[in-house]
Amino acid sequence: MHIREIVLEGFKSYATRTTVGPFDEHFNAITGLNGSGKSNILDSICFVMGITSLSQVRAQALSDFIYKQGTAGVTRASVSIMFDNRNKEQAPDGYKMIDELTVTRIVESNKSKYLLNGKNATQSAIHDLFKSVSLNVNNPRFLILQGQVTKVSKSKPQEILGLIEEAAGTRMYDQKKAEALKTIAKKDDKLKEIRTTIDTDITPTINKLQQDEQNYKMYTELKKRYKLLNDQLIAYEYWQLITSVKKTETDVENMESQTNEYQERNEVITEEIQQIHNEVKLIERERNENVGNEVSELQTVYDKQLVELRNLTNDNDRLAKQLSQYKQQLTDSEQQHKQLTNSIENLENDIEKSREELVDLDKKVLTDTEHVKQLQRRHEAVSTGTAVVGSSSQVAHGSNDDSRLTNKERLDKYKEQRGEIATKIKQLQQRIDHSAGELKKLRTEQKSLTSKQGTYSSMRSEFDKKKMTLNQCEKDLAKLQFDVERLKQLRSDIRNEDENMARDQNRLQQMRRQNHQLDFQYTNPTPNFDRAKHVHGLVATLFNINDKKYAQALELAAGGKLFNVVVDTDETSKLLFKYGDLKKRITFAPLNRISSNLIPKNKIESARRELGDPNAIFLAKDLVTYNHSKYETLINYVFGSTIICSTSAIAQRVAFDEKLGLNAMAITLDGDIYNPAGILSGGDRSGTNRGPTLLETVAEMNQLEENIRQYNSNNRQELTKLERDYVQSQNLQQQIDSLTNEMQLLELKLAQNDEHRLQTEITTLEQQEFNNKKELDEQRVEEKVLNEKISELEKLFKNEGEAKKKELAEIEQLMKKAEKQVDLSQKRSREMQTQIKDLEMQLQSQRAELDTLTSDMDTLRNTIETSVETLNDANKTLANNQMEIDELLSNLQTKRSRLTEYNNRIHSLHQKEQQLIKERREIELQLEKNKHSIVDLQNIVKESVRRRQLIIEKHGRWIEEEKDKFGTSGGQYDFASMNIAKMQKDAKDDKEKVTKMSKHVDERAMTLLEQKRAMYKQ
């Protein structure tokens, strides 16, 4: 740690802010004229470090540090020293993580304060900081002034020891240690005296009295707890009786009031049922007058145009399918054309190879025939004695002209050849010795050159590394197995799927326009309104039908509820009504408010057994599926009280037959409605095509949305992988090309390098040496063979007659093999000729087939062009007809919606009537139950009053005082929070303990204990 700079302001001769520095880490000197303030800088350092002897800094009081003692308008003096603390080995303890320390001292109004890094600090803290780094400004030798150098050098050993301790930083701890030891010794003496008094007198007495106190407190607490428990149990019994009487009396009053309400409600229900009958008749009359005939007429026109549209669509599909077949045929023909072309090329190559092989076979036949003739001549010559014995094997193998020589001539020839080989062996050995000497010189020169330059090994190493990298890249490229044709095919498939998706999207948008009643439009009623969480959509869009044959029946079962908007809570519906800017009349179905009247499954199963057909009836709810369990109550509300029947007879029994036990709304698959209230609706629908129902339309829209979500999922994943592989293959190919170019450059550099030249020469010499050694070995083998032949001929001279017989037998055997080989070669030649003729016929046939296929492909292309034009015209006609039928369907659905509204109103009234009838039955049962319950409750009241009177007679006084507090929450008699059974058991146990402890407790122990405690505190 060393000083970096000093900042003085108002200190002695420095009136204004003055910065001195930066200081050097090792040596600093302050120079200047007399009176320029050199000594004041040294005084400022001592001032900040907390010097206590002011005379050493030429001051009598703190005010002397202020510029002109504060008479010149400057009222305070401050000095700040910035220390460089980056050397952590010399940093003070506790500040090693701080790179700069700033110590400031300020004097104002004869008061002094210190700051350390801008925070207040005490003078002792500043002293300890500097002492920890061996700086004590109050040390007599901290400042060595002029004239004191000699005195310091002659210091006594004790004084020098003091200087060393100060420099080492141990003096500060020695002083603090001595002061602490004196204080500890005084405190220890006082503590010994106190402990003696406590241990011998006070503690034994207190321990005994504390035990007595614990027993007394336990006894007192037990008595209080027992009394409290006993009082609470008595109060609980009294309060329970009062509460029971009040509750029972209230229940009696409520039941009597409820009975009156039930009777009044029964009368109201009868009137409402009659009103419903009248209202249903009015609605049916209004429906027949307004929309009855219009829907039938529009339906007839729509059915007619729908048939025409279907015919056009079928024709269009047929044309499209035919065009697709033509294209597929063209694709297949192109593939077949390619295969035929390749097959023709292969046949031409096979014919060429077969002809070459036939030529070779003919040559072989001639050679084998000549060989047979040679053997025949040899046999004749040996038999007549005009040939030399022992050369038949040479003739058999087609050897040289040695067979025409006599054994003597051959022996001379072999010896001459052996001499030539011996000469050649000697020359080869001389070449090998010469190569070895040259190699030794070149290797010595190579070592010398490598020590001087040393570039060849690094270049060669780099070349080998690049070659390894190149091999790895080629392996990675081969392993990747990238298929560019598959990539092209995938891109084509995805384009086709995109076209199909666009077609489905257009169809979905068209259906949404035609069925605008399924669209719920609103604005957000509040900022940050979560649509997905709060608004779920129309009922019709939240489920799917299991089978389209139930669509019409389910639509009638749901009625107007299909257009209800489902929201999470009734608060959301209120917000939408108030701030949602709704464009039309809307009925909301809050999930937290709707309730259902679900027909039990056991009733359905019982009815099926009664009918004898498990598929005769279905609960409407069981014919739909929904995606989330939170919609279960909603589905029960819409479909839970309606049964779908297979026939009208079964529907009639479901609605009216008491034996089945259902008496529920029944709807047939044809749309006939049977209401248990006696109302029927429906009629003859034979020969009528009503078009798609609302639920069928919703199902088709849901299917289109699902198709759009699933388009391209698998193909796009594979396309992404192939495109990634394509990029990777391109990168690998670029890397391979780059490495190849780099290796070519390195090869050029290596060729121009002296080390490479030497290495090339060494390699050449090594190869020559290897070849010479190889040839030497071959010559030695040949020399050995000649020696064997010479030895064999020398033996023949000894036994020539026996050799002649052996030679003739060998020739005859070789002749048989040779003749057999001739026959075999001729047979293969004939087979090859036949094979060539077959291949030429196949080639001629495939060329004719290729010409025919080319002509058919031209015809297909013309047909495809004509079909495309025809299909485009058909698409335009289909689009025009589709627009007309869409407009007609929109009008029909509007009329049908009005008709459905009438039917829904009637259906809703029938449901309401059925609910009223059911409610009336339940009211009559409840009236009978209430009558019996009132009698039972009156008897309970009499018994409770009798028991309460007995408690008042036994505990009258305090019961009367405390009874207002009984049952009060948070009080002593908060019975709701009590465990009464446990309290009864605890009261019994406490009574036994109190009786037992009263015989042993000393009640005077408390007074004696307080006296001893007072003595202990003193």
pLDDT at 382 over 70: no
Q: To 10 degrees, what angle do helices 980-997 and 203-290 make?
A: 170
* pLDDT given at position 399: 43
CATH superfamily, domain at 2-138: P-loop containing nucleotide triphosphate hydrolases (3.40.50.300)
> What are the structure tokens assigned to 91, written together?
């940093």
Max avg pLDDT among 372-376, 397-401, 499-503, 981-985: 981-985
Q: In angstroms, rounded to a whole number, what is the distance separating the alpha carbons of residues 395 and 411?
A: 18
pLDDT confidence bin for 149, thresholds 50/70/90: low
Going by DSSP bridges, is the β-strand pair 624-625/588-590 parallel, antiparallel, or unpaired?
unpaired
Question: In this structure, are residues 230 and 222 in contact, taking their beta carbons and an 8 Å threshold?
Answer: no
pLDDT confidence bin for 100, thresholds 50/70/90: very high
Q: To 10 degrees, what angle do helices 407-452 and 754-796 make?
A: 160
Q: Which residues, in sequence order, are CB contacts of 414 under 8 Å at separation 6+?
A: 786, 789, 790, 793
Q: In angstroms, rounded to a whole number, what is the distance separating the alpha carbons of residues 126 and 146?
A: 28
- 556-586 burial, b at 16+ Cβ within 10 Å, e below that, comes to bbbbebbbbbbbbeeebbebbeeebeeeeeb
**Cα 645 to Cα 540, 614, 618, 648, distances in angstroms:** 21, 11, 7, 7
* pLDDT given at position 77: 93
Strand order in the sheet with 119-121: 18-20, 2-9, 76-84, 100-108, 111-116, 119-121
Percent residues over pLDDT 90 in the chain: 7
**224/558: higher pLDDT:** 558
Locate tokens 């969480």: which residue? 533
Asked, as a colleague might, if the bond just before 525 is cis with ω within 30 of 0, I would say: no
* pLDDT given at position 8: 94
Q: In angstroms, rounded to a whole number, what is the distance separating the alpha carbons of residues 483 and 473?
A: 17
Question: In this structure, are residues 673 and 907 in contact, taking their beta carbons and an 8 Å threshold?
Answer: yes
Question: In this structure, are residues 808 and 391 in contact, taking their beta carbons and an 8 Å threshold?
Answer: no
Segment 830-854 mean pLDDT:
80
Strand order in the sheet with 565-567: 535-538, 565-567, 588-590
Going by DSSP bridges, is the β-strand pair 642-645/680-681 parallel, antiparallel, or unpaired?
unpaired
C-alpha dihedral (881, 886, 889, 890), degrees to nearest 10: -150
Q: In angstroms, rounded to a whole number, what is the distance separating the alpha carbons of residues 695 and 700?
A: 9
> What are the structure tokens assigned to 154, written together?
């002659």
> What are the structure tokens assigned to 296, written together?
């039938």
Tell me what the pLDDT averaged over the chain comes to: 79
* pLDDT given at position 171: 65
pLDDT confidence bin for 784, thresholds 50/70/90: confident
Question: In this structure, are residues 269 and 913 in contact, taking their beta carbons and an 8 Å threshold?
Answer: no
What is the longest distance spanned by two Cα atoms in the chain?
169
pLDDT confidence bin for 392, thresholds 50/70/90: very low
For the chain, the domains span 2-138, 177-290+979-1011, 542-713
pLDDT in tens, 555-602: 888 888 888 999 999 999 888 888 888 878 888 999 998 888 888 888
pLDDT at 398 over 50: no
SS3 619: strand
Q: Which residues, in sequence order, are CB contacts of 246 under 8 Å at separation 6+?
A: none
pLDDT confidence bin for 914, thresholds 50/70/90: confident
Segment 523-534 mean pLDDT:
88
pLDDT at 287 over 50: yes
Q: In angstroms, rounded to a whole number, what is the distance separating the alpha carbons of residues 673 and 401?
A: 120
pLDDT in tens, 752-763: 566 666 777 788
pLDDT at 627 over 90: no
Question: In this structure, are residues 306 and 689 in contact, taking their beta carbons and an 8 Å threshold?
Answer: yes
pLDDT confidence bin for 115, thresholds 50/70/90: very high
What angle (nearest 5°) sits at the alpha carbon of residue 405, between those of residues 404 and 411?
150
Segment 89-111 mean pLDDT:
88
SS (H, E, C) 172-208: HHHHHHHHHHHHHHHHHHHHHHHHHHHHHHHHHHHHH
Segment 495-520 mean pLDDT:
76
* pLDDT given at position 497: 73
* pLDDT given at position 686: 45
Q: In angstroms, rounded to a whole number, what is the distance separating the alpha carbons of residues 22 and 39?
A: 18
pLDDT at 387 over 60: no
Segment 910-915 mean pLDDT:
77
> What are the structure tokens assigned to 815, written together?
């002749």
Max avg pLDDT among 327-331, 429-433, 938-942: 429-433
Q: To 10 degrees, what angle do helices 551-558 and 800-954 make?
A: 20
DSSP one-letter string for 141-179: TSS--TT-HHHHHT--HHHHHHHHHHHHT-HHHHHHHHH
Segment 133-157 mean pLDDT:
70
* pLDDT given at position 402: 57
* pLDDT given at position 80: 95
By mean pLDDT, which of 127-136, 167-176, 662-671, 945-954 is the weakest? 167-176
How many other C-beta atoms can be found within 10 angstroms of the C-beta atom of residue 925? 10
* pLDDT given at position 989: 80
- Under the phi-then-psi rule, with left for phi > 0, alpha for psi from -120 to 50, and beta for the rest, what region is 79? beta
Q: In angstroms, rounded to a whole number, what is the distance separating the alpha carbons of residues 724 and 757?
A: 46
Segment 465-480 mean pLDDT:
83
**Closest C-alpha among 825, 814, 824, 815 to residue 365:** 825
Max avg pLDDT among 216-230, 269-283, 457-471, 602-616: 602-616
Q: In angstroms, rounded to a whole number, what is the distance separating the alpha carbons of residues 849 and 847?
A: 5
Q: In angstroms, rounded to a whole number, what is the distance separating the alpha carbons of residues 201 and 484?
A: 106
Segment 270-275 mean pLDDT:
84
Q: Which residues, in sequence order, are CB contacts of 194 under 8 Å at separation 6+?
A: none
> What are the structure tokens assigned to 775, written together?
């040839």
By mean pLDDT, which of 126-135, 177-186, 226-235, 262-271 is the weakest? 226-235
pLDDT at 696 over 50: yes
Q: In angstroms, rounded to a whole number, what is the distance separating the alpha carbons of residues 79 and 468?
A: 72
* pLDDT given at position 122: 92
> What are the structure tokens assigned to 647, written together?
């026939």
Which H helix or E strand runs over 596? none
**Closest C-alpha among 473, 472, 478, 467 to residue 744:** 467
Max avg pLDDT among 7-11, 434-438, 830-834, 956-960: 7-11
Strand order in the sheet with 680-681: 617-619, 642-645, 665-668, 673-674, 680-681
Q: In angstroms, rounded to a whole number, what is the distance separating the alpha carbons of residues 489 and 104?
A: 82
Q: In angstroms, rounded to a whole number, what is the distance separating the alpha carbons of residues 694 and 511?
A: 11
pLDDT confidence bin for 400, thresholds 50/70/90: very low
**Cα 833 to Cα 49, 194, 348, 354, 1004, distances in angstroms:** 121, 136, 15, 8, 143
> What are the structure tokens assigned to 16, written together?
């204004």
* pLDDT given at position 79: 95
* pLDDT given at position 1008: 63
Which parts of 70-139 fold into alpha helices (H)? 123-131
Locate tokens 């002397």: which residue? 64
DSSP one-letter string for 704-768: HHHHHHHTTHHHHHHHHHHHHHHHHHHHHHHHHHHHHHHHHHHHHHHHHSHHHHHHHHHHHHHHH
Locate tokens 């069925």: which residue? 515
* pLDDT given at position 121: 92
**751/375: higher pLDDT:** 375
Question: In this structure, are residues 967 and 239 in contact, taking their beta carbons and an 8 Å threshold?
Answer: yes
CATH of domain 542-713: 3.30.70.1620
pLDDT confidence bin for 896, thresholds 50/70/90: low
Q: In angstroms, rounded to a whole number, what is the distance separating the alpha carbons of residues 20 and 44?
A: 11
Segment 184-201 mean pLDDT:
82
Helices (H) and strands (E) in the chain, counts: 24, 16
Question: In this structure, are residues 808 and 382 in contact, taking their beta carbons and an 8 Å threshold?
Answer: yes
**Closest C-alpha among 682, 673, 589, 602 to residue 638:** 589
* pLDDT given at position 203: 78
pLDDT in tens, 700-745: 887 777 777 776 566 667 777 777 777 777 787 778 877 787 777 7
Question: In this structure, are residues 871 and 306 in contact, taking their beta carbons and an 8 Å threshold?
Answer: no
pLDDT confidence bin for 456, thresholds 50/70/90: low
pLDDT at 1013 over 60: yes
pLDDT confidence bin for 494, thresholds 50/70/90: confident
pTM: 0.32
pLDDT at 512 over 60: yes
**Cα 575 to Cα 498, 580, 591, 704, distances in angstroms:** 41, 7, 15, 33
pLDDT at 274 over 80: yes
Question: In this structure, are residues 883 and 353 in contact, taking their beta carbons and an 8 Å threshold?
Answer: no
SS3 79: strand
* pLDDT given at position 987: 77
